[in-house]
Amino acid sequence: MPYNKLILIFIPLFLSAFTHLWNASEFPSFHIDEGVYIRRALHTLDGLGPHDPDSRFDHPQSSTSAYDHPYFGQIFLAAIFKIIDFPQNVLSANSFSIEKLFDTPRLIMGSIAIVDTFLIYKIGERRFNPAVGLISALLFAVMPSSWFTRRVVLDSLMLPFILTSILLALESRTYPRSINTFSFLSGIALGLAIFTKIPAFTLIPLISYLIYQRNKGALPSSRTKFKTILLFMFPVIAIPLIWPGYAFFSGELDQWFDGVFWQATERQSEDRTVFDILNSFLKSDPVLLILGTIGIGYLTIRRDFMGLIWLLPYFLLLYFVGWVSHFHLIIIIPILCISIAKMIYDVPSIIRIKRRDTLITSTITATIVLFGMVSTIVLISTNLSYIQLETASYIANESIPVYKSVDDDGNLSVKSFISNATGDEITVISGPLYSWIYKYVFDNKNTFSHIRDTQPIKTEKIILVIDPVYKRAISGTAENQTQSMRLSSVYNNTFIAALFEKLPANYTKKDYPFTGIDSSDSGLTTTEIRKNY
């Protein structure tokens, strides 16, 4: 690779590192799902298997199935935790920081986003040319919607596997004699993406289209074409079948069907449609969405249907499922960036300017990138996690480990969890955003995995966290009413020990880029910590 080209690739990677790694623990606020997936990864890391039975509490109790998503997300995250020795690498004999516990998984997601940036560059390069690849990577690195990938959610975890699958399909054009190998490897990557989260299957038409279109000259017969597609489809189908296979051999196939159908068909009542989220996206990143939509149309007019086939099946799925969150749109950000990049690259020919076309393309790109970078810096400088970090720290300070060992490197191994005052064990009742810390880091077996957790209360001393998760669980009509009554009883027999309030906003939601900040804020205004001792 030429030295100059290497320098150019480094620019979007550097920008992506900044926008995805800086201020990771403070922006955006922590979403409940982040606690869920970190807990499941730590459950796997502890050698308890990929299936966490407590997952049955992670959704309204109209379904009590513990099957909602496949296992590769927590397996992948657990493997990274193992490699970096998390959470032990955060604990030390001399100091401990709750913020570092939250920060580390976010930094992992930021590192994955840097990989995504490189893959987007390669996709743009292989599909069009290096200039389009560079512009695509720059847009992904700096546009405000890039913060979506900061959260520890399955959509962020599956994105690099989707992009890898697409890239491998495109690579077969460069190496036509290895088309079967690239098709099979592409199928493995997409199979892992589906094994992370089922909606990734909507990319099957796109990658099949790319394999066929880019290599139709290398496919001499219908039999060879069929073989190539079959080699692609085999791992795409076989790898995700591990999930229902696990349920079958565990004797819980009926629970698997219940969980899958609940996810797919019974969430429309939550009133978060694809149109609501697109409106939120428009407020968060109007430049990317508007120009990206125009870019998709431009590609389609040019008879390049990559963008259309990428988006259409996925949006149809979101429409029929009827429940959408902002991070569900992570999968569309790359194609918006690529389509804009191609359109910018073609601007000189569109307006029929033959001279200084590089200057025109560079000027447009620099303008959009500068606008996106400034907007993103302003946005991610905001502290939206103050309440959550303070809440977690307060509960941690309420209790200390009594049995601990320190190895030669100064790492602290926590064995049990007791209260400061008398040494009695305590029960922590909170949502999954906090529970993973006390259950898996401090090894407190009396920690509820979720507010909905129905395990018996075995201690006299109780800490109860009152936040939006508690309020939804206590008031929802699709909840376990017996558990709701028990929570009400605990509430009435505890007193307020601490009250944390949201930091005063130094911005107004009427001003861009804060117009779409609601997606990055969990809606916390106060969190109340109650205890009975």
Determine the average pLDDT of the residues in 101-109.
Answer: 96
What is the model's pTM? Answer: 0.94
Q: How confident is the model at residue 229 (pLDDT cuts 50, 70, 90)?
A: confident
Element (H, E) at 80: helix 72-84
Higher pLDDT, 505 or 342: 342
Structure tokens at 128: 């069009």
Q: Does any domain span residue 25?
A: no
Contact indicator for 40, 55 with CB cutoff of 8 Å: yes
Q: Does any domain span residue 440?
A: yes
Residue-number span of the structural domain to which 226 is assigned: 164-243
Q: Does any domain span residue 463?
A: yes
List of residues 6+ apart from 525 with CB closer than 8 A = 501, 502
Higher pLDDT, 214 or 235: 235
Q: How far apart (Å, rounded) are the C-alpha atoms in residues 272 and 295?
A: 26
Q: Render pLDDT for 149-205 as a digit per residue (tens, 0 to 9).
A: 999 999 999 999 999 999 999 998 777 778 899 999 999 999 999 999 999 999 999
Q: How confident is the model at residue 270 (pLDDT cuts 50, 70, 90)?
A: low
**What's the domain count of the chain?**
2
Q: Does any domain span residue 517?
A: yes
Residue 94: per-residue pLDDT = 47
Higher pLDDT, 142 or 88: 142
Q: Render pLDDT for 295-311 as a digit per residue (tens, 0 to 9).
A: 999 999 999 999 999 99
Structure tokens at 209: 């289209």
Residue 92: per-residue pLDDT = 58
Write b or e for each residue in 95-107: b if 16 or more Cβ atoms lie within 10 A of its Cβ, otherwise e.
Answer: ebebebbbbbbbb
Last residue of a domain, one of 213, 243, 273: 243
Q: Does any domain span residue 381?
A: no
List of residues 6+ apart from 297 with CB closer than 8 A = none
Q: Does any domain span residue 205?
A: yes
Determine the average pLDDT of the residues in 493-510.
Answer: 93
For the chain, give the mean pLDDT.
Answer: 90
Q: Does any domain span residue 285?
A: no
Res. 408: pLDDT tops 60: no
Going by C-alpha positions, the residue among 149, 133, 163, 159 that lies closest to residue 16 is 149
Share of the chain above pLDDT 70, in %: 90
Q: How far apart (Å, rounded) are the C-alpha atoms in residues 418 and 446?
A: 10
Res. 279: pLDDT tops 70: yes
Residue 403: per-residue pLDDT = 47
DSSP string covering 333-382: HHHHHHHHHHHHHHHHHHTT--SSHHHHHHHHHHHHHHHHHHHHHHHHTS
Higher pLDDT, 370 or 356: 370
* SS3 state of residue 84: helix
Q: Does any domain span residue 203?
A: yes
